Each structure stands twice: as C-alpha cells, then as structure tokens.
Amino acid sequence: MSFSQNLKRLMGMKDMKAVDLARATGLSEAAVSDYLNGKKEPRGRQSVSIARALNVSLDVLWETEFAQTTENEPRTFGDRLKEIRTSRGLSQDDLADLLGTSKQVISRYETNQRTPKITVAAEYAEKLNVSLTYLMGADETPKQKIVDPSDPQKEALIRNYEALNAEGRKKLVDYSDDLVSSGRYKLTDID
C-alpha cells in the first residue's frame, strides 16, 4: 500500500478530512492534498506531525516492518543520528560511508539544517539497525532488530521467515530442524 493510500485509510478510521489534518498538523491544505494524491511524501518533521495528529506511530503511518509506539517528547532526526554516530564511535565520514551519502549531508542532518525524506530515513534505520520511530526521534528506545546487519545470510533468513504465512513458517522451522538434526550441516567447534 502506498503512503497516500495508507494516509487515506488512517484518516478514514479517524473520520478526518484533509482540512482537519491540516489544522491538526499546521501543514497547508495544499500539502495535505499532495500527500493524499500521492504527488509528494512528507519529510521527517511533517511525518511526525501527521502521526501525532492521527495518534499512530511513524511505523504505522509508513507501514514499516517495526511496530513501535510514539512518545510525547520527540527528539529531532539530527539529534538522534548524531547520538547513534557518537555512541558507536563513528566519524561523520564513517557514517556517510555506511549510509551511502556524503559527510556534508550528515553534517546538515546533525545540525538540523536538513531532514531526509521518510523513505530515505527508513533506509538509514535499516542500515543502523534501529527502528524508524527511534531514528525520527519519536521513541526513546532504540528497539534494534534481532538480526546482525553484518551477517547477510541471517538477515535474508529472517526476512524470508517474516514473508511467510504460518504454514510456511512452520515448514521453514521444520526444515531447519531437519538440517541440524542430520548432523551433516551442524556447526562444529572447527567452524
């Protein structure tokens, strides 16, 4: 489902019209109309305002894989990005390399001169192994994913598992149990 379709769905659940959302968020009616028509997607701060007005998390608003709740006092994207960078002992150059952008862009984010599109922020959250809600400053707990991003096979396995229905998940678990119990593929001390 696209952002505009999801926004319409959430507004319908709240019996909210475009004018109501514009008033509740401080956004212009034209901007809300553009979001509803799929012409534009809101950036970070606008997304936080919309999520608050609809009383949903950013993850629900954007239908991301993380389900978190929104806290009352959000921090900015730039504050959170800098906090993550410094806590991991990374330079701005290191973070730029990790995220596939430039040091200048990182600097603008960290000084709150620029906010990424939410789709870009979601990619960053994935690469940093934190929830989008946390990265956008609307949740105080990092809520890291279970998967270590440095192990692409493990990440692919989790991604595949999450894409399956209940029957498929059971078969995947059964198959992995069979592989381990056969002994042929079991991890040994030599591995």
Mind listing the pLDDT tens digit for each residue in 119-176?
A: 898 889 888 888 888 888 776 666 655 555 567 787 778 777 767 777 887 888 888 8
Within a domain: 72: no
**Residues 50, 16: Cα–Cα separation, whole Å:** 12
Q: Looking at the DSSP assignment, which residues form a beta bridge with residue 117?
A: 43
> In a 3-state reduction of DSSP, which class is residue 29?
helix
Q: What integer pLDDT is reported at residue 67 of this predicted model?
A: 37
If one counts the domains in the chain, the total is 3
**Residues 82, 96: Cα–Cα separation, whole Å:** 12
Q: Are residues 93 and 129 in the same domain?
A: yes
Q: Are residues 95 and 122 in the same domain?
A: yes
Burial zone of 125 (CB within 10 Å; 0-12 exposed, 13-18 middle, 19+ buried): buried
Q: What is the pTM of this model?
A: 0.42
Domain extent for 106: 77-135
